[in-house]
Structure 1
């Protein structure tokens, strides 16, 4: 382990299990060392946290290292047929507390972890004397910060491609969604006149602050690059609601960047949020998501012509998923059957991001 930087808040860089020092090698019997108590976790980000604890003064002068056992908190049912992961022992030289644990290649955003600590004294022969383990503490890493989302935005901008014109937003669903109230479709009202808001699912980047929190309605706007027509295949259903673009996107609508991801395929998705000014969704997005210039960005634009009419364009080389944050009345558009296939394999419902893709991942994990 490298020497921690000489500051009051030292950083502990996470090491491979086969690093220079391993907490599993050369461990002696439990010595008369203080046991960490009252583990305190603070300053949690998507890829770091600060840790401190209390301990008796007796034997503190012997401590040379801390051993930290950091593990993902897994669902036991999910792991019942898997080999139990070896615990991840992190070794840090004894430094003033609290200290920062940071490691983007290990810590993932929005992930629950358990942590326990031992104090240790390194002997002349290289072995360690150790204390008993502390009690286990639990914590969950945070969402991407605005800084991380800006990094993701810049990666998305790099591949967005040229802009193509479009005139309508559309939403594909099963026939029943548009025809009757059903317990299967809680995003419809009882009178079947409005599409209601639903909480954003867990698709996309693990650290996106909109997943499981933002309420809205998903729409698409992509067109076929060679014809300008709407695609006739859909993963979500053979019936399509179409609405003129200016009903959802105009100069009273704010636009935000929400996510950039892929699903082990060559094409990439960008999630955008359209929120009417000062609406509940707009209030949620401000300060959490990067706001885009509605008339000048790489993904989705609304510009006004000299005659006052609005013109709309979308990026060619990414698939846009647009979340509108207010209910939408079906009377504002039309519903019709599309002629293509229902490609269920292309559904992004709860789809997980490819953590190995260099195009859409940043330095803080998926």
Structure 2
């Protein structure tokens, strides 16, 4: 497959969504799995009486690809040699923008049978809104293009990571997990008001809430999975939970076997960092047959609860359970059911609140080579 054709900077393609855009060369782009494209060393000529694409259809959307097709009049069809595709991120002032991801992209492909696959992790991010429009074009003897009018502008959103991509993340996380350390309790830190509300208006229960958008941009659990977050990491020298916390000065603590046992399924949810040397792994604890368990099946990699690199639950000959956690990653556990406060204890911690360590809506470092995969954040 040849490289995708990208018009040079000195020749501006007039966009249907903006008056004029300076084009930047993008490398390693792939367009269409039927026929390659060639390098564009020429400019764009005048509008021509070529058929204008209409009834644009987007299908087979993944986190880094989509198929596009359209209808057009038969008149002048035989003169079409290329398609111009205007692909832009939909404007969102609050989105996490960075580097070349924001460059409006004009893709030029040889005319091939439709539908055509557009693929490229350098300009397509997971879970991102895009606009797309199409022109037909004919390459002339002098190297310039004659083009049709632009089609209507279509909006679509790319998909979450697939199981293939999540397994790539899982393998990367396993590499740095480190040795296993024993643990006995799971814990959740919050402000005092949180626990007061659980007692007074939630029947003494901590209720599941939708996971925020921290971590990998394409993780299927962000903004969708409901659960109660817990921690399990221990201090190396004491074997106990740390006294410091970024989430609040009060801690609910429960014996690990209450929430993690032979009736609990374990899933890998995400692996990320936040521009620091610390890496986070999100695991989902879902009681067998629960709503959360049904959500995770088929979406997330399932882990063997007694044999994995992050969090294990092993039953001894006498029926007792023992637990271990990975030393070199910070584990965030999502328990998918309500948790009754009577199952554990709530008490103030003696340490500090490390607000800078909070992961609430934290964005993943897209440049980290340890925790990123080929399809982006």
Q: TM-score, normalised by structure 2?
A: 0.88
In structure 1, the partner of 2:106 is: 89
1:14-163 aligned within 5 A: 20-21=39-40, 26-75=43-92, 87-163=104-180
**Gaps (5+ residues) in structure 2?**
5-31, 97-101
Paired residue for 1:10, among 19, 22, 34?
Answer: 34
Q: What's the secondary structure of 2:170's corresponding residue? A: helix
1:218-237 aligned within 5 A: 218-237=229-248
Query: Does the Cα contact within 8 Å between 1:11 and 1:102 map onto a contact in 2?
Result: no
User: How much has 1:64 moved relative to structure 2?
Assistant: 0.7
User: How much has 1:227 moved relative to structure 2?
Assistant: 2.2
What per-residue deviation string (whole Å, max 9, x for no partner) do you get for residues 88-133 of structure 1? 1001011111110000111000000000000011111111100000
Change in 2 beyond 3 A, CA 1:86/1:145: closer
What per-residue deviation string (whole Å, max 9, x for no partner) do you get for residues 274-327 of structure 1? 000111111111000000000000000000112211000000000000000110
Q: What's the secondary structure of 2:164's corresponding residue? A: helix
Change in 2 beyond 3 A, CA 1:78/1:178: closer
Change in 2 beyond 3 A, CA 1:37/1:191: closer
Q: What's the secondary structure of 1:158's corresponding residue? A: helix
Q: What's the secondary structure of 1:171's corresponding residue? A: strand
Query: Does the Cα contact within 8 Å between 1:171 and 1:220 map onto a contact in 2?
Result: yes
Q: TM-score, normalised by structure 1?
A: 0.90
Report how many residues are paired: 346
Calculate the aligned-residue CA RMSD, in Å: 2.1
In structure 1, the partner of 2:195 is: 178
In structure 1, the partner of 2:330 is: 319
State the distance in 1 between where 2:103 and 2:80 align: 25
Query: Does the Cα contact within 8 Å between 1:179 and 1:192 map onto a contact in 2?
Result: no
Query: Does the Cα contact within 8 Å between 1:31 and 1:130 map onto a contact in 2?
Result: yes
Change in 2 beyond 3 A, CA 1:334/1:200: same
**Gaps (5+ residues) in structure 1?**
14-18, 80-84, 182-187
State the distance in 1 between where 2:321 and 2:159 align: 39
Q: Tell whether 2:284 aligns with 1:260.
A: no
Q: What's the secondary structure of 1:153's corresponding residue? A: helix
Q: Tell whether 2:289 aligns with 1:278.
A: yes
